[in-house]
Structure 1
């Protein structure tokens, strides 16, 4: 059943404007349910047929609903973050064994040990944006008197223009921050506050000669709710500063709790950095593997040219590549599963016209030694190589999402394959000229080999 495109695009229900895709789905679903109800009640004379159709429709909707890709679940405790970092260390050790890298695990293990063994006094950082006056060091020391083993650190002013709004690394290491804010707030002050993690212990000291309730109420409307319990209004006098900072002293009187929060935050940052390094090493090894595999596939196709690029040749040619990719990304999948993933992604790439596009683009871009280019069937061979490149890149993205999973969800792969391939193809288009240069070298080497 077909529906007018214009009517679907302009479909509005009760004032809600529906997207063309959603409107099309609703229209098709309504048609199917109506036809099913008519068949069951008027043709088959089955009582209650409408309810059956509705139940079947609900079941189909549940089975076809979009499934979110796997999302990393952050640990909720210090012990969980330590375990997670040790898991990443084991992955670095596996990379050393499988790929022959050196010095990946040992320096990172030492870095983790230093962080866990850190036992310096608690630190309080006092900071403000440029142009905002800070309380004097003497006043702060008097106001915080009684807190044992405390390092008071006065930070450099934060810039208000021409900055990336990224907090300095030395402030990231501090346990608690006292952020002095002027009233009324400036845009730069709000931007700096937005960059602070939710779990970071931060107190906002509001310095104003007249911190009236109206100002505090207006400030609560400007700031997210997370800051409402952290506001410390101060009229700027030395006599009132100690009472204003009483909540800060109470927090610093629990050093173990504060230090655990700091370690947990630093472990999260360390884990994020390690994961980026781990993926970088994997991608580096993968690019070398991909470059080798794409020319093997090109050679196979050039040796036995077909009227169109045969997906089976690409799948078989990629057999060794996907096995090594599974080792790189720590995916303990069977060869049958790996081949099924390659076929799914390869089919999505063919459906999106990667082969046809690559052949035309390479002809227009490269101008590779015309005689050998056309005589040896190089267009087809290089299209197969480019298909391997796109399929391999999308396979790498899928493995990165499912690293460590015992068995991937192939049904979920079917839903995500077109998007994975489209993203990989867009990235590879950016390096098409580099691929053409590699193709020129491959054709010349092949011509030299044939001549010999």
Structure 2
């Protein structure tokens, strides 16, 4: 059975170096399993070990995300153009105005910087006039207090109205409760925040602080403010907050970026749904072109060449669908990692065994025509295509992918892709039966013409 992974070809050669290595493995597996009858599972293990020296060559990459308001605006406008190319014209006409208005609403925010002191339902916060006096600075400020975070919640999602604040002070009663820990974890990391605890002077504060730091996420280290309930000391306690408020332009810019990032993420989720629908069409077409190429080719190396070319075309279409501008050598590096993960997890062996049931439908025709290898190649195309789609979704909008991170992601990407396709296995089997029947009919027609 052939392991036909080389979906990502080099720009000048139909099959890249990864394809050469895999081609040798595939040809060897075909000879040993079909002629010498060595179990394929052991061969797959040896193949993975033999190819690891090549497939695990290190690659370096880095992410490039917007770091300014202008950068996020540009990114959002790019996403709007992608909707135009993917959506049905009538749907796009109805949705584009709403999206544009959402973007304008964020960009046009001109309110003064805002600070909100928050806590869970039932907690008594310092009086608003005391807080106003304690955080008075030279910059305009909109201050609010709210004890509205529910102590029982299903979603534990940070409320939108707090998400839009420029700074947050979370009033935390001691000892630490599970509900407070859950809410603290929902506060965005890029939202400047502090924790204010109320404690009596007689308490052993160093011990309390040590215990608190051991229970809280690391982001809250050096962000805990101690207050002894004395109104006269509140201004001193909130000194770090007051200093931060002096940087109003920085604070409002960060909030604008955070809101644009959130809007961008929402749009990307909608885009991903559209892309997956169109990807399925590309995937289904490509897998049967691959199956046909393998079915018609009498020599394993020729099969490999056909699959590499077809899968290369599939990846080009996917790159256009995900607005991917990565260079061919980067895609080749991605291919090496995904190939290694697929080999190690035995995707082809599993699909071949599972397809034996379909084989029984056409007895001698199956074995004579090599349909087993063809359908395994088709299924492998599905898995690799799905894992590549997942990777493109993860790296959408970055200038250069983090290939060191990919080494860690590749096994999980392949595993998730294989699991997704297993869920849709019945659909693939039905398609396989129809494809086999079509090949049988074609052969019968050819034999009739020859006779």
TM-score normalised by L of structure 1: 0.65
Deviates more, 1:396-405 or 1:286-295: 396-405
Partner of 1:96: 84
Unaligned runs of 5+ in 2: 1-53, 446-451
Partner of 2:162: 171
The question of whether the paired residues in 1 share the 8 Å contact of 2:55 and 2:340 is answered with: no
Partner of 1:379: 372
User: Is 1:355 aligned with 2:343?
Assistant: no
The question of whether the paired residues in 1 share the 8 Å contact of 2:62 and 2:402 is answered with: no
Using the alignment, how far apart are the partners of 1:192 and 1:337 within structure 2? 40
Using the alignment, how far apart are the partners of 1:197 and 1:109 within structure 2? 25
Alpha-carbon deviation of 1:197?
3.5
Using the alignment, how far apart are the partners of 1:100 and 1:269 within structure 2? 25
User: Is 1:268 aligned with 2:261?
Assistant: yes
Distance 1:98 1:109, change over 3 A: same
Partner of 1:87: 75
Partner of 2:429: 436
Distance 1:413 1:262, change over 3 A: closer
Distance 1:305 1:385, change over 3 A: farther
Alpha-carbon deviation of 1:422?
5.5
Distance 1:370 1:192, change over 3 A: same
Alpha-carbon deviation of 1:438?
3.1
Alpha-carbon deviation of 1:361?
0.8
Partner of 1:189: 180
Distance 1:449 1:129, change over 3 A: farther
Using the alignment, how far apart are the partners of 1:439 and 1:240 within structure 2? 76
Alpha-carbon deviation of 1:167?
1.9
Local SS of the residue matching 2:355: helix
Q: Residue 156 of structure 1 is aligned with which of 148, 170, 178? A: 148
Alpha-carbon deviation of 1:440?
3.6
Partner of 1:50: none
User: Is 1:119 aligned with 2:107?
Assistant: no
Distance 1:296 1:141, change over 3 A: same
Alpha-carbon deviation of 1:217?
5.0
How large is the RMSD of aligned CA atoms in angstroms? 4.7
RCO greater where, 1 or 2, for CA within 8 Å and sep 6 or more?
2
Q: Residue 299 of structure 1 is aligned with which of 292, 312, 320? A: 292
Distance 1:148 1:301, change over 3 A: closer
Partner of 2:28: none
Distance 1:436 1:306, change over 3 A: farther
Alpha-carbon deviation of 1:86?
1.1
Local SS of the residue matching 1:123: strand
Partner of 1:222: 212
Alpha-carbon deviation of 1:119?
1.4
Deviation sequence 1:19-49 (CA, Å, 0-9, x none)? xxxxxxxxxxxxxxxxxxxxxxxxxxxxxxx
Using the alignment, how far apart are the partners of 1:292 and 1:404 within structure 2? 27
Local SS of the residue matching 1:330: coil
Alpha-carbon deviation of 1:72?
2.2
Using the alignment, how far apart are the partners of 1:165 and 1:406 within structure 2? 33
Alpha-carbon deviation of 1:299?
3.3
Any residues of structure 2 matched to 1:22-37 within 5 Å, and which? none
Any residues of structure 2 matched to 1:417-428 within 5 Å, and which? 421=414, 424-428=417-421
Deviation sequence 1:120-148 (CA, Å, 0-9, x none)? 24333232134533335565567667885
Using the alignment, how far apart are the partners of 2:247 and 2:402 within structure 1? 46
Alpha-carbon deviation of 1:65?
8.9
The question of whether the paired residues in 1 share the 8 Å contact of 2:64 and 2:400 is answered with: no
Higher Rg: 1
